């Protein structure tokens, strides 16, 4: 049985569910509900986990395979392959999008203006490449202003658990200044703090309440474990 970290509705037009690592069939160190097939897990186990996810919603799932850039793909629901992208968008009801992550930020955005659902996977490389700005420009291509956007950020590594080089910190904070976190001997970035600040200043409604992956045993953390699986967010327009 899948043990959701969080689930709910955005603006009463989209449903979202964040998975934890609990409730799947993968063996150590990918235990249990690993949803990524590029981390070295047994492909049959990943397939079974994805089927558990699909059964829990009754929908066909469209999985993102992150590129760590700003690649956008529109999903109509007719395709079934993996989407090599960092942003998935659909305007179709009941087309379920899935974005995996472990420490990186997953994000679900929608709008009450018209049917629109966007999922993103954001690590430091995507942040440095301007993915936050790309989310707003992508929304505007679909006729949605930033002030009409409502988004939720998934679990991700916090700045205290995420020391990075000064170069990486600078690359991120150029786009997301509030992501900077410095302590004695520690230059870190907190992507969710940076993203929250960026989006709120753009007029977006933001929810950022889910835990740090590094500090939460029930979640996969790449920084904590190295060889490990990926949780995911799944969302669809209702």
Nearer to Zn ion, 152 or 156 (CB): 156
* Count, residues near Zn ion per rule CB under 5 A: 5
Of 67 and 215, the one with the shorter C-beta distance to Zn ion is 215
Least Cβ distance, residue 52 to Zn ion (angstroms): 28
Nearest one of 145, 137, 148, 109 to 237, comparing CA atoms: 109
Element (H or E) spanning 57, and its range? helix 43-57
Shortest Å, Cβ 199 to Zn ion? 21
Residue 9: burial class (beta carbons within 10 Å; 0-12, 13-18, 19+): exposed
- C-beta of 91: minimal distance to Zn ion in Å? 35
Instruction: Give min distance, CB of 33 to Zn ion, in A.
Output: 21
Q: How far apart are CA 218 and CA 100, in angstroms?
A: 15
**If we measure between CA atoms, which residue out of 4, 1, 54, 42 comes closest to residue 23?**
1
Interface of this chain with Zn ion, residues 140 to 169, rule: CB under 5 A? 158, 161
From the list 45-53, 181-189, 215-223, 226-234, the region that binds Zn ion by CB under 5 A is 215-223
Euclidean distance between CA atoms 160 and 107, whole angstroms: 21
CB 100 within 8 A of CB 93: no
Residue 62's H or E segment, with its range, is strand 61-65
109 beta partners? 118, 151
Cβ distance to Zn ion smaller for residue 18 or 63 = 18
Between 2 and 104, CB nearer to Zn ion: 104
The minimum distance between CB 202 and Zn ion, in angstroms, equals 26
CA atoms of 152 and 171, how far apart (whole Å): 24
Stretch that binds Zn ion, among 32-40, 93-101, 171-179, 205-213 (CB under 5 A): 205-213
Could you give the string, one character per residue 106-145, with x where binding to Zn ion holds by CB under 5 A and - elsewhere? Answer: ----------------------------------------
Distance CA 194, CA 185 (A): 21
Query: Is residue 102 involved in binding Zn ion (CB under 5 A)?
Result: no
The answer to whether residue 94 forms part of the interface with Zn ion (CB under 5 A) is no
- Supply angle C-alpha 219, 224, 226, rounded to 5: 100
Q: Does 215 bind Zn ion (CB under 5 A)?
A: yes
Spatial separation of the C-alpha atoms in residues 57 and 213, rounded to whole Å: 24
- Least spacing, CB of residue 221 vs Zn ion, in Å: 9
C-beta of 191 vs 235, nearer to Zn ion: 191
Q: Which of 212, 219, 233, 234 binds Zn ion (CB under 5 A)?
A: 212
Per CB under 5 A, residues contacting Zn ion are 158, 161, 212, 214-215
């Amino acid at each position: 049985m899948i043990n959701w970290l969080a689930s709910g509705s955005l603006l009463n037009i989209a449903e979202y569910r964040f998975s934890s690592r609990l409730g799947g069939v993968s063996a150590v160190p990918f235990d249990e509900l690993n949803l990524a097939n590029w981390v070295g897990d047994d492909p049959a186990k990943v397939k079974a986990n994805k089927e558990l996810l699909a059964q829990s919603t009754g929908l066909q799932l469209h999985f993102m395979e992150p590129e760590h850039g700003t690649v956008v793909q529109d999903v109509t629901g007719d395709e079934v392959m993996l989407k090599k992208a960092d942003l998935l968008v659909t305007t179709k009801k009941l087309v379920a999008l899935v974005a995996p992550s472990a420490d990186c930020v997953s994000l679900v955005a929608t709008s009450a203006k018209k049917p629109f659902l966007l999922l993103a996977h954001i690590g430091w490389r995507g942040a440095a490449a301007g993915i936050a700005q790309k989310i707003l420009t992508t929304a505007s291509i679909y006729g949605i202003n930033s002030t009409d956007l409502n988004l939720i950020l998934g679990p991700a590594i916090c700045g205290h658990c995420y020391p990075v080089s000064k170069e990486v910190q600078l690359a991120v904070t150029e786009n997301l200044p509030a992501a900077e976190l410095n302590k004695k001997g520690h230059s870190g970035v907190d992507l969710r703090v940076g993203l929250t600040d960026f989006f709120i200043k753009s007029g977006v409604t933001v929810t950022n309440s889910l835990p740090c992956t590094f500090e939460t045993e029930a979640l996969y953390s790449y920084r904590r474990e190295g060889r490990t699986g990926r949780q995911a967010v799944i969302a669809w327009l209702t």
